[in-house]
Amino acid sequence: MRNIIYWNNFKRTYAFGSQIEIQGEESVFFENHLLTSGQVLATWVMQANYQIERNEPQLPLLYPGHSYRLHLIAQTWPAASIYMRIIFKDINGHVLKRQVIRGFDGNFTYPKTAHEYQVELLAAGCYKLHFKRLEIEEYGLTVGDDDYLFSGVMNNNEQTAVLNVIFTEPLARLQAELTYEGLLDRVTNCLVINSTLSNAKLYLDDKVKAKLQELVKTYQHVNLISYGPITNLTTWYYGRHFGKKVTVYGTNDFYSLKRYQKLFREYLHEMFAVDTDLLVARLEKLPKKAARTDLDLVKPLFNLETKLLAFPMFRKGEA
């Protein structure tokens, strides 16, 4: 599982002489021409005092003795002028070990006696930084800079010209991915679209649109499949965009209109031309019971993926 960490706690940010511009959760510009080498720009922690910081911990729990990869997705001026440091502490808060990762990518092993850890971003001649995210995952899994990941066609069946495209529902701080064991074994001609981005920018991005255009031209028909409040909006939009060339299979899980409008404002400047009026009109027609998924503290307790089993292509023997 890939854990996504954003820069959203500025209480642990070097503020003296710094100019900080926040362009959404996934885009922070930091500039300071007074920085000295070795200065800590930002710190992320596994444990935090909510009463003091009014912010939850940003780092995931790690397994003692397991190896992990830490990956920074950012741009620096000058190039390669930043490095990372991981500090491991015991149950009493004493430092067990410090590990420096020079560059944007490196591996580490979580000490067996560690109780917590923190990650620091340090200057090495840097005066400007465009920060997108940190990624932590168990060593050996794929890490990359791609915002969207497209699988190959799985369980290929040459007897049908229909392709099933599944949009994976993003979860807080985790890469969107399908985890329900055996789920993909149930469906033929299946292609999965993942995202490393928070909210996946609703999957309304030029890269995704171009991929779907390619698939629609290649296959006789394409099924667009979704199962959560982000992806349901995605498939509805593309269903309108591609018309009779696609069929939409989605659930009745949606966010409130107010929340979608907030997402539109955040991502619109980076998205292709989206008819937001059309989307808003669709949301206004939703039954009240559909707009019930703003309870983010409760939602992760439910496995949304199991709802896919209600769709015909996930039932054995059906196309």
**Do both 250 and 294 map to the same domain?**
yes
* Predicted pLDDT at 269: 54
Counted domains in the chain: 2
Give the SS3 label for residue 305.
helix
Contact 237, 267 (CB under 8 A): no
Q: What is the mean pLDDT of residues 208-225?
A: 95
Residues 6+ apart with CB under 8 A from 253: 227, 228, 229, 232, 290, 292, 293, 304, 307
Contact 30, 131 (CB under 8 A): yes
* Predicted pLDDT at 97: 96
Tell whether the torsion through CA atoms of 296, 300, 306 and 312 is positive or negative: positive
At 121, which CATH number?
A: 2.60.120
Among the three residues 88, 117, 138, which one is the final residue of a domain in this structure?
Answer: 138
Contact 4, 196 (CB under 8 A): yes
Sheet with 95-102: list strands edge to edge: 40-45, 116-123, 82-89, 95-102
**DSSP secondary structure letter of residue 188:** S
pLDDT digits (tens, 9 = 90+) for 220-253: 999 999 999 999 999 998 998 999 999 999 988 8
pLDDT digits (tens, 9 = 90+) for 77-134: 999 999 999 999 999 999 999 999 998 988 899 999 999 999 999 999 999 999 999 9
Cα-based angle 41, 45, 47 (whole degrees, multiple of 5): 155
Average pLDDT, the chain: 83
Please report, rounded to a whole number, the percentage of residues in the chain having pLDDT higher than 70: 81
Range of the domain at 62: 3-138
Provide the CA 158 distance to its chain's centre, in angstroms: 33
pLDDT at 155 over 90: no
* Predicted pLDDT at 162: 95
**DSSP secondary structure letter of residue 235:** H
Residue 47 lies in a domain: yes
Among the three residues 91, 118, 138, which one is the final residue of a domain in this structure?
Answer: 138
pLDDT digits (tens, 9 = 90+) for 247-283: 999 988 888 888 888 888 777 655 545 566 776 777 7
* Predicted pLDDT at 217: 94
Please report, rounded to a whole number, the percentage of residues in the chain having pLDDT higher than 90: 45
**Do both 278 and 188 map to the same domain?**
yes
Which pair of structure tokens corresponds to residue 15? 């503020």
